[in-house]
Amino acid sequence: MNRIQKKIWSLTLVVLFIMVIIWAALTYYNQKTQDQYNAILQRYLSLNEVTAASQDLITDLNDYLLQPSEANLNQLGASKANIQEAKSEILILKNEDNEFAMANYMNLIDSLMETTDRSLMYQKQQETEASTNEFSEATRISNYISETTLTLIDTELKTYERLYREIIERSNELKKLGIWLLLLITFLLLLMTYWFSKSITKPVQKLTQSANELAKGRFDLPIKVESNDEISFLAETFDRMRININNLFMEIQEKAQLEHELQQNKLLLKESQLQSLQNQINPHFLFNTLNIMSKKAYLEGAEETSDLLVSVAGLLRYNLKRLDKPVTLHEEVIVLKQYMEIQKARFTERLHLHMEIDESSLGVQMPGLTLQPVIENAVIHTIEPSEEGGNIWFRISHSENIVIIEIEDDGQGMTEEKVKQILRGNSEQTEGQSTGIGFSNVVKRLRLFYGQEDVIEIQSAIGQGTNVMLKIPKKRRNDEND
């Protein structure tokens, strides 16, 4: 993942590639031009060589005629070979335009050679005058060769004029190409550099921005960097760090809340206990007395009174003991029944209690003395004010993970405001409560106990009765944590 390095490399390679192409093209062009110049020069040079060689031949012939020595003869032979060579070289110069002139030129050279040979021959035969004549003829031919060379060069110039002009034009065009190329490459390089630098600095900028946000304490903004190099890797890591910090933060917050709740719970408990203690002076004495009264009634044959007293004693005991410990729904239902028995004794025919209990749900845990205050509330507001009495339904049913306890009455109902007050947990009215524990206290304790708000639902309207629904989770949240 050497992306940035790769980018730098690729940029460099592209520049290098362009440079190589230009270099290659220029070298190619240069080579071609050089070749062409060489070819052109070679033409003129070889033409000139013929002239020079023919003049050399004349000089050597002259030397030999004046002084017929072996050395001079050899020199003459060399000159002849020279001129033959020059002749073969100019053969390639033949083209359509100068064909006639070239043929003449070749023949002139031949004539020169022949005349030279004749001159030598006469020299051998001691015919000096003829030899001299031939020599002067050779000299003339040599001159003609020079002249024809000039003519040929002239023709060459005419033939190749277009070509030469093209070469000049091309070299001018090359200058223009150079300028265009410079402009193009500058432009491209600037563009590429811009893109390249942007691709590096933009993610860095984004990262910096995110870091700033993080420094300000905003852990919820995701860090996103659109790039495919090390920066994005950095950003991903950074983002993970942010998520971790965020999680830790949340956990700490939760813990703090839990602690807070625990403290509140304790406080409430204390308050309830204090209330109980305040309300029930010496409950053990009362409890013992009630037991004695029950036995006494039994012995005197008042069995009903005896049972009633047992119920009252049971209720009292329950009230004394089970306030700070979780109890099962089963125990609660028993207490509820005892309480209702007492109330039945009080209201007789006016109280109609209907119970529908799903036995399988009775094992669920809940705080002590939660149902009794609720049903007491129902009794107080339904049965007491009405002469005909009323109905109270008590139902326990269950769904997948909650047990639903419903206490419904057909009394006068509550105002919406009252319902809200109860649900908010700040109705502090405890008058008429036998256990001294109010509805609000029940709601608060339930919420604390299960650690969730949604445990109670109250449907009520004036004149239409009240339906209190407790939703008891089958599993306490704290079970998992403890």
Partner 1 sequence: MRKIGIVLLCFLCVVLFYFTFQSAEKVFRSNWEMPEHAIEPVNQHRVVLITKNLDTPFWDQVAQGAREQAQKEGVGLEIWGSYGNNREDFLEKIEIAIYSKVDGIIVQGINSDEFNELTKIKASFYNIPIITVANDVPIEESLRRTYVGSDQYLAGQMIAEQLLFDMGTEGEVVLMSDSHQEYYQKQRLQGIADVLKDYPNIQTVNAETPDSREQIISTTQDILNKVPGADAFIAVNADFTGVMVQEIGKRFQIEPYFIYSFDDGSDSLPLLEQQKLDGVIGQSPKTMGNVSVGLIIKWLNDEVVPLDKKGYLTDIRMLKAKEAR
Exposed e or buried b for every residue in 195-215, given b needs 16+ CB within 10 A? eeeebbeebeebbeebeeebe
141 near partner 1 (CB under 8 A): yes
92 near partner 1 (CB under 8 A): yes
192 near partner 1 (CB under 8 A): no
Residues between 334 and 393 that touch partner 1 (CB under 8 A): none
Paired tokens of 407: 């206490």
Enumerate residues 6+ apart whose C-beta is below 8 A from 332: 366, 368, 369, 370, 371, 372
The Cα 246–Cα 250 span in angstroms is 6
Residue showing tokens 């362009």:
18
Output the smallest distance, CB 68 to partner 1, in A.
26
250 near partner 1 (CB under 8 A): no
> Which of 50, 108, 414, 419 is the binder for partner 1 (CB under 8 A)?
108
> Which of 48, 55, 72, 104 is the binder for partner 1 (CB under 8 A)?
104
The Cα 369–Cα 449 span in angstroms is 13
170 near partner 1 (CB under 8 A): yes
- Are the beta carbons of 235 and 207 closer than 8 angstroms? yes
Give the range of 24-32, 235-243, 253-261, 336-344 binding partner 1 by CB under 8 A: 24-32
Output the smallest distance, CB 176 to partner 1, in A.
5
> Which of 9, 30, 34, 99 is the binder for partner 1 (CB under 8 A)?
99
211 near partner 1 (CB under 8 A): no
Output the smallest distance, CB 96 to partner 1, in A.
6
Nearer to partner 1, 160 or 347 (CB): 160
148 near partner 1 (CB under 8 A): yes
> Which of 177, 192, 293, 404 is the binder for partner 1 (CB under 8 A)?
177
Paired tokens of 223: 């860090």
Closest-CA residue to 109 (of 68, 78, 132, 81): 81
Enumerate residues 6+ apart whose C-beta is below 8 A from 3: 228, 229, 230
> Which of 85, 147, 300, 358 is the binder for partner 1 (CB under 8 A)?
147
Determine the length of the chain.
482
165 near partner 1 (CB under 8 A): no
Q: Which residues form the interface with partner 1 (CB under 8 A)?
A: 25, 28-29, 32, 36, 39-40, 92-97, 99-101, 103-105, 107-108, 110-112, 140-141, 144, 147-148, 159-160, 163, 166, 169-170, 173-174, 176-177, 180-181, 183-184, 187-188, 191
